[in-house]
A = this chain, B = another copy of it.
Amino acid sequence: MSTVATLTNHQIRLAARPVGIPTRANWQSASEAVPETPEGGVLLKTLALSLDPAMRGWMNEGKSYIPPVGIGEVMRAGGVGKVIASKNSKYAVGDHVSATFGVQEYLTLAEADFKRNGLVKIDLKVGSLTQWLNVLGMPGMTGYFGLMDVGQPKAGETVVVSGAAGAVGQTVGQIAKIKGCRVVGIAGGAAKCEWVVKELGFDACIDYKAGPGAVRAGLKEHCPKGVDIYFDNVGGEILDDVLAKITRGARIIICGAISQYNNTTPIQGPKNYLSLLVNRARMEGIVVFDYADRYHLAVAEMAGYLKDGRMKSKEDVVKGLDTFPEALIKLFTGENFGKLVLQVAED
């Protein structure tokens, strides 16, 4: 296959499956020539990548909602970028797009792979590149459909969301406020909590790092009528604390369990799960890909909120493809403040 002589594609590949928190040893850098763009296909340049807790799951062997990344394969990552060569009439050079880029500088896509890679054009008049990875991207879609379809919030209900300063959490809380709910976030550290309340307009935010019993005490103080909806990004003790406070008919959306992803011991199951019985409550999982047919509706709604200032979007931007291994770890230590984005190139 002929190649574009001047372009080399730097990549981060999975070298070995991690035990616990991933380290440099789990990754390998690689370079390969960018292949010629196939007929009907496009060549994309990566501008920014979305770093997500779900990535930790993709690094594990075994059945999940999508196959694991294979050893030696480019690490999977959603991102935004630009068309730099096109043999497809629907895409022009200079178009901005969203797709599953992978942790690499370039992505060559045959037309047959457009759909599988989630290739769609994005409009920078609607939102910035990083917003397209945040409230207008996968985290935003996850928060929107998890809250609206699974949670089905009613005005006046109390919604609690963990990982409140993260990408999904900030979306969930802001939508719930717009829908007329009382919203209580859970986040790590005073600075995040203050931002969640002052900037995003949550009614309260509980600092889970404030000491033992902080979440229980915070729920008692800020959810006097109990918890009608809990959007769970973290699992572990916090899930149990909230289960102890749910109301009759409550809905718990299981979106993730970041507290458990790097466990080297078995996952901690929610020992208060029988609260579901007592309260006739429901715990349900969500995978965002199921809602792909309706992304455009949610994007249109959220773009309206961004425009009229009812919704804010915070991204934590880290630069350089090679910083990926360290950047990813920020998610698990809770160091990121806002949606974590890896900027790979300037637009």
Q: Is the C-beta of A279 less than 8 angstroms from some C-beta in chain B?
A: yes
Q: Is the C-beta of A282 less than 8 angstroms from some C-beta in chain B?
A: yes
Q: Chain B residues with Cβ under 8 A from A256's Cβ?
A: 277
What DSSP secondary structure best describes chain A's contact surface? loop
What residue in chain B is nearest A235 (Cβ atoms)?
B274
Question: Which of B280, B284, B287, B290 is the one whose CB lies under 8 Å from A285?
Answer: B280
Query: Would A279 and B283 count as touching, CB distance under 8 A?
Result: no
Distance in Å: Cβ of A298 to nearest Cβ of chain B: 17
Question: Which of B65, B260, B283 is the one whose CB lies under 8 Å from A283?
Answer: B283
Q: Is the C-beta of A278 less than 8 angstroms from some C-beta in chain B?
A: yes
Q: A269-B272, A270-B269 are in contact. Are A286 and B290 (CB under 8 A)?
A: no
C-alpha spacing A287/B248, complex, angstroms? 11
Distance in Å: Cβ of A58 to nearest Cβ of chain B: 12
Q: Is the C-beta of A266 less than 8 angstroms from some C-beta in chain B?
A: yes
Q: A280-B286, A282-B282, A283-B282 are in contact. Are A254 and B274 (CB under 8 A)?
A: yes
C-alpha spacing A284/B252, complex, angstroms? 10
Q: Is the C-beta of A44 less than 8 angstroms from some C-beta in chain B?
A: no
Q: Is the C-beta of A63 less than 8 angstroms from some C-beta in chain B?
A: yes
C-alpha spacing A284/B274, complex, angstroms? 10
Query: Would B266 and A269 count as touching, CB distance under 8 A?
Result: no
Distance in Å: Cβ of A282 to nearest Cβ of chain B: 4
C-alpha spacing A260/B282, complex, angstroms? 20
Q: Is the C-beta of A238 less than 8 angstroms from some C-beta in chain B?
A: no
Query: Would A273 and B278 count as touching, CB distance under 8 A?
Result: no
* Residue of A270, A274, A286 with highest tally of chain B CB at under 10 A: A274
Q: Chain B residues with Cβ under 8 A from A281's Cβ?
A: 284-285
Q: Is the C-beta of A319 less than 8 angstroms from some C-beta in chain B?
A: no
Query: Would B287 and A284 count as touching, CB distance under 8 A?
Result: no
Query: Would A284 and B283 count as touching, CB distance under 8 A?
Result: yes
Q: Is the C-beta of A64 less than 8 angstroms from some C-beta in chain B?
A: yes
Report how many residues on chain A are interfacial, defined by Cβ distance under 8 Å.
33
Q: Is the C-beta of A75 less than 8 angstroms from some C-beta in chain B?
A: no
Query: Would B240 and A278 count as touching, CB distance under 8 A?
Result: no
Q: Chain B residues with Cβ under 8 A from A279's Cβ?
A: 65, 285
Query: Would A274 and B287 count as touching, CB distance under 8 A?
Result: no
C-alpha spacing A277/B146, complex, angstroms? 11
Q: Chain B residues with Cβ under 8 A from A49's Cβ?
A: none
Q: A240-B269, A269-B268 are in contact. Are A287 and B283 (CB under 8 A)?
A: no
C-alpha spacing A260/B273, complex, angstroms? 12
Q: Chain B residues with Cβ under 8 A from A280's Cβ?
A: 284-287, 290
Q: A269-B240, A269-B268 are in contact. Are A283 and B276 (CB under 8 A)?
A: yes
What residue in chain B is nearest A284 (Cβ atoms)?
B282
Q: Chain B residues with Cβ under 8 A from A278's Cβ?
A: 63-65, 285, 287
Q: Chain B residues with Cβ under 8 A from A63's Cβ?
A: 278
Residues of A within 8 A of B (CB): 63-65, 235, 240, 254-257, 260, 266-287, 290
What 4 A-B pairs have minimum CB-CB distances, sorted nearest first? Answer: A269-B269, A277-B285, A269-B271, A276-B285
A-B CB contact pairs (8 Å), 20 listed: A63-B278, A64-B278, A256-B277, A267-B271, A267-B273, A267-B274, A268-B269, A269-B270, A269-B273, A270-B273, A276-B283, A276-B284, A276-B285, A277-B286, A277-B287, A278-B285, A279-B285, A280-B287, A281-B285, A282-B283
